[in-house]
A = this chain, B = another copy of it.
């Protein structure tokens, strides 16, 4: 019966695996992060993870409903780490900036895992905690509820979306990544000025800018937007 998954909190009888280790959701997720880092975003397989744990692949189905369920648990872990690394200062401008960067950084610390998970909203406890925190900051700053909800929505989706996109390029194999970065110097820089005048005119700027993330800039635009909204309300 691989369909019945016992929740972590209700577990009591933990047997040893063939390899001698004692399993738990936490250990499995941590090991999965290691396997992902070592074998890439498509390298997390039940057999490989089982081998890394010293356990049979089918054992995983005692803890997760399937590989998809495991992936969501990994995403929840990254979101939790982001929130843990963040502390409130009470400043409405510094707080969302730091939290956004914490989320982005937490996912980018595990690019291969981020590729797997950042594109989905899980609705798990730690994600909800982040939501509550952001809404609290925005409402505390004085934004009317409808505006706060709109900004919150853009904030969380933007953070996750950029995390997924930036992780994608970061997760490329070394060879592929440098080839990707070189593209801006080779392909784009060599476009003739007649057919692509704007790219040609800014090629040197593009080569410097494109290998980095646009997330910080987008985040500042969001904060700027809050500024404008607050001045309209008259806070």
Interface residues of chain A, those whose CB is within 8 Å of chain B, are 115, 119-121, 123, 128, 131-132, 135-136, 139, 145-146, 148-150, 153-154, 157-158, 160-162, 164-165, 168-169, 180, 183, 187-188, 191, 196-199, 201-202, 205-206, 209-210, 213-215, 217-218, 221-222, 224-225, 228
Contacts and interface: CB of A to CB of B under 8 A. Distances in A.
Contact of A180 (B119, B121, B162): B121
Contact of A158 (B160, B168, B214): B214
Given A145-B205, A153-B210, A198 B135 contact: yes
Number of copies: 2
A199 B131 contact: yes
B198 A132 contact: yes
B128 A199 contact: yes
8 contacts: A121-B180, A128-B187, A131-B199, A132-B198, A157-B213, A157-B214, A158-B214, A160-B165
From A128, A157, A228, residue with most partner B Cβ within 10 Å: A157
A136 to B, nearest CB: 5
Contact of A132 (B196, B221, B224): B196
Contacts of A168: 119-120
Q: DSSP majority for the A interface?
A: helix
A110 to B, nearest CB: 16
Given A123-B187, A218-B218, A225-B221, A202 B135 contact: yes
A153 B202 contact: no
Contacts of A180: 121, 123
Contacts of A165: 119, 157, 160-161, 164
Given A158-B158, A218-B222, 11 more contacts: A123-B183, A128-B199, A132-B196, A132-B199, A145-B201, A145-B202, A146-B205, A149-B205, A150-B217, A153-B210, A221-B225
From A135, A146, A168, A221, residue with most partner B Cβ within 10 Å: A221
A160 B166 CA distance: 11
